[in-house]
Structure 1
Amino acid sequence: MKSTLQSGLDYEFKFTVPDNKTVPYLYPEAEEFQAMPKVFGTGFMVGLFEWACIKAINPHLDWPNEQTVGTDVKLSHIAATPPGFTVTVKLRLEKIDGKRLLFHVEAHDGVDLISEGTHERFIIDAAKFNEKVTRKSEIERITE
């Protein structure tokens, strides 16, 4: 983590919602999702917030050796967004506690505020993290 990573960092990110980021595409194998409206899916919205936070802080990390993983999400999803609309994500890095980063996030689709909340990320050493995941995968294969 570089010394440039400071609380108060503001960032804005824009994303135009394509058809394949609507609810029916969230889990194509789920019949229930297939019957739902073709609007920006909450699961995709969470991913968009994660992506925006990553884009905001990567210049302040030793990326790709240092990366961040999401550890907590507390969001509303208060308005539907059809495909073709551009969602603007605004975020602020509110707090740095060691390797823990807490963001305030919100999104607007040009008509409505569609979401607001907090997102927590944790800075990791990518190589060490990947080693742990590999070991876990090997344990799973042994127990099968």
Structure 2
Amino acid sequence: MQAALQPGFAFEWTYQVPRKALVPELYDDIAPCREMPAVLATGYMAGIMECACLQAIQPYLDWPQEQSLGTLISFSHLAATPAGDTLRIQGRLVEIDGRRLKFEVEAWDGLDKITEGVHERMLVDNTRFHTKLREKADKLGLAI
């Protein structure tokens, strides 16, 4: 990680909500979910908050050898958002503790604040991470 990335670093990112992010589309293999309202799924929303943080810090990493993985998400889902609406996501890096990065993140759709919360990411060495993943998959008899 480059030294320029410090607590207080702020970012903004926009993302247009696709149809695949709606509850009935995302969970189409679960019968009750197919009958749910066609709104942005909370799980997908949390993933977008992760992606916003990743997009923000990626230029500061020794990419692709140094990457980051999400390790904690804690977001409130405050308002429903339809497909096609554009999210405006704002975040701030509030803490760096070794390889752990902690962010405060909020997002708005075209009318409402839809989420606020905390996200943490861990910096990882890509080669080392994939070596450990392959070892685990081998022990489980899984192909990766």
TM range (shorter): over 0.9
1:12 CA displacement: 0.6
Measured on the aligned residues, the alpha-carbon RMSD in Å equals 1.0
Identity of aligned residues (%): 45
Q: Normalising by structure 1, what TM-score?
A: 0.95
Q: Secondary structure at the match of 1:47?
A: helix
Q: Which residues in structure 2 correspond to 1:16-27 (within 5 Å)? A: 16-27=16-27
1:47 CA displacement: 1.0
Q: Separation in 1 of the partners of 2:134 and 2:124?
A: 15
Between 1:114-123 and 1:24-33, the stretch displaced more is 24-33
- Alignment-mate amino acid for residue 111 of structure 1: L
Q: After TM superposition, which residue ranges in structure 1, 4 or more long, deviate above 6 angstroms?
A: none
- Alignment-mate amino acid for residue 74 of structure 1: S
Match of 1:59 in 2: 59
Q: Separation in 1 of the partners of 2:26 and 2:79?
A: 18
What are the Cα deviations for residues 7-58 of structure 1, in whole angstroms up to 9, with x where unaligned?
1111111011121111112222111211111111111111101111001001
Q: Separation in 2 of the partners of 1:91 and 1:37?
A: 28
Match of 1:135 in 2: 135
Match of 1:118 in 2: 118
Q: Separation in 1 of the partners of 2:27 and 2:66?
A: 30
Match of 2:86 in 1: 86
1:81 CA displacement: 0.3
Between 1:17-26 and 1:78-87, the stretch displaced more is 17-26
Q: Separation in 2 of the partners of 1:123 and 1:106?
A: 22
What are the Cα deviations for residues 78-112 of structure 1, in whole angstroms up to 9, with x where unaligned?
10001111111100000101110000000100211
Q: Separation in 1 of the partners of 2:111 and 2:27?
A: 27
Between 1:1-10 and 1:25-34, the stretch displaced more is 25-34
Q: Separation in 2 of the partners of 1:141 and 1:84?
A: 42
Match of 2:108 in 1: 108
Q: Normalising by structure 2, what TM-score?
A: 0.95
Unaligned 5+ residue runs, structure 2? none
Match of 2:96 in 1: 96
- Alignment-mate amino acid for residue 129 of structure 1: F
Unaligned 5+ residue runs, structure 1? none
